Amino acid sequence: MEKIKTDVLVIGAGSGGLSVAAGAAQMGAKVVLLEGHKMGGDCLNFGCVPSKALIATGKAAYAQTHAEQYGVANAAGTVDYAAAKDHVADVIATIEPMDSQERFEGFGIKVIREFGTFISPTEVQAGDTVITARRIVIATGSSPMVPPIEGLEGVPFQTNETIFELREAPEHLLVVGGGPIGMEMAQAHIRMGCKVTVIEGGKALGKDDPELAEVVLAALKEEGVVIEEGARVAKVGGTAGAIEVETEDGRVFKGSHLLMAAGRKSNVDKLNLEAGNIKPSRTGIEVDDSMRSSNKRVYAIGDVAGGLQFTHVAGYHAGVIIRSMLFGLPSKAKTSHIPWATYTDPELAQVGLTEAQAKDKHGAGLEVVRFHFSHNDRALAERKSKGFVKVMVVKGRPVGASIVGYQAGELINLWALALANNMKMSQIAAMVAPYPTIGEINKRVAGAYFSPRLFESDLVKKVVGFVQKYVP
């Protein structure tokens, strides 16, 4: 048994773990990195990267079949499903070197390709190696949650960890789960020529502002996605190519393939948290605002910390704990400025408080301002005029922004900046945006906040009248 001592031990080579390992090593700490599966974690191999690559295939096919609106003859938009998966694999392979073992060893990091298990509050075993560390970072991420549904164990099904390896197009894809993953995959597959039915126990896109979510759901239904809500799955049966899903209220859905997209669970099973004196939570590992666990030597970041499950959150957590671990400075994580996006078409994005949350928190002090894509000249030119921006404002400062529409995931960046820096609406309004751009929408919604103050104010009109009458 080999024994190693190090300053920082990172368990998990996903987005958060790699950021911590690279940052700590380049700033002079001795670092050991453990990864028992694939370097790059879920995001590179099974999540963000392959899903967006497949969405791009669906978008290209859809563009061909809907080209007539631009004066171009519609084409068939026929998809070679296996070639589309080759495209996905090529995108992963292109990004892979950035997350490779060789690159991180180049930073001076010792990379061990084994899962880590706590054997004491300061020691972790990985294969035949025992590592003692001053600081330990758990960044093991999450994996698909497969609920205990009657009959599921006897039926072939896909998750986000397997569907990108599927080489034959599903004739009819049944998607259990109407969250972001389920809806993104539903639209990608309907655009690639598959039939798709989404089966959701509650409300599809239920964590988002319902007014914005409805715009997305209407668009998907228009494209042919069948969305069944209030449909809690009771049992599953059938064989490959002929699968049946029955809901508690007796509805039966038949399809050729089944995708389970019913949520995520934190990867803690292999860690032996009890030996590490680490308290688990219902959703992962219990942490304080500084991302420390009940064992103050041990931090947990990203999905395993049980909060917002996004790649960029894991990267943000990495920055928070590096400040604390390496420099001994107080550093706390916040969530009020964290944006997220669902990459359907139209896209759906949010940062800060939704309208409902802002009303609950601020009551009568809240103002909600809107601007519709149909009033943006570039959106009209691109035939992308569905959607709107909604900004929640309290005392002249935005406390939340919700966007549905073309490039919503890009537009939300400005509002994330505003919330992170406690900016005023006047600062957004002072921005000069190039014309014509989609980004001009953000300036225009800020202008919509000030319009009634300028154009409907009796005081303003009196001042202007006085100046015109008496000032030479």
- Torsion angles phi and psi, residue 42, rounded to 5: -65, -40
Q: Which helix (H) or strand (E) holds 196?
A: strand 195-199
Query: Looking at residue 1, what is its pLDDT?
Result: 84
Please indicate, yes or no, if residue 168 is contained in any of the structural domains. Answer: yes
Question: Residue 132 — pLDDT band, cuts 50, 70, 90?
Answer: very high
Mark whether 162 and 123 lie in a shared domain. no
**Residue 272 domain-assigned?**
yes
Same domain, 116 and 256: no
d(CA 353, CA 365): 14
Q: How many domains is the chain built from? A: 3
188 and 119, same structural domain? no
Instruction: Kindly report, residue by residue over 8-41, the tens digit of the pLDDT.
Output: 999 999 999 999 999 999 999 999 999 999 999 9
Residues 192 and 204 in one domain: yes
Secondary structure (3-state) at 146: coil
CATH number for the domain spanning 445: value is 3.30.390.30
Does the bond joining 436 to the residue before it have cis omega, within 30 degrees of 0?
Answer: yes
Residues 314 and 399 in one domain: no
Same-domain status, 7 and 117: yes
Average pLDDT estimate for 59-77: 97
Residue 325 in this model has a pLDDT that exceeds 70: yes
Same domain, 256 and 377: no
Classify residue 86: in a domain, yes or no: no
Of 300, 327, 354, the one marking the end of a domain is: 327
Indicate if 257 and 271 belong to the same structural domain.
no
In a domain, 389, yes or no: yes
CATH number of the domain to which 281 belongs: 3.50.50.60
pLDDT greater than 70 at residue 457: no
Residue 460 lies in a domain: no
Range in 350-354, 396-400, 462-466 with the lowest mean pLDDT: 462-466
Residue where one domain finishes, among candidates 239, 262, 285: 262
Q: Are residues 121 and 269 in the same domain?
A: yes
Is 119 found in the same domain as 11? Answer: yes
Whether 470 is in a domain gets the answer: no
What is the per-residue pLDDT for 456? 67
Residues 138 and 159 in one domain: no
Residue 67: inside a domain, yes or no? no
Q: Give the long-range contacts of residues 213-217, CB within 8 A, separation 24 or more.
A: 213/348, 213/404, 215/346, 215/348, 215/386, 215/387, 215/388, 215/404, 215/405, 216/183, 216/342, 216/344, 216/346, 216/348, 216/404
pLDDT in tens, 263-299: 999 999 999 999 999 999 999 999 999 999 999 999 9
Task: Indicate the length of the chain as a whole number.
Answer: 472
Domain range for 126 is 2-39+100-144+265-327
The whole-chain average pLDDT of the chain stands at 95
> Based on the domain organization, do 252 and 346 belong to the same domain?
no
From residue 82, how far is each of 62, 96, 194, 258 by CA, in Å? 18, 21, 14, 18
CA dihedral 311, 314, 315, 318 (to 10 degrees): -170
Burial letters for 197-228: b for 16+ Cβ neighbours within 10 Å, e otherwise? bbbbbeebbeebbeebbebbbebbeebebbbb
Is residue 461 predicted with pLDDT exceeding 80? Answer: no
Query: How do residues 338-359 score in pLDDT, each as one tens digit?
Result: 999 999 999 999 999 999 999 9
Asked if pLDDT for residue 455 goes beyond 70, the answer is no
64 in any annotated domain: no
235, 262, 289 — which closes off a domain? 262
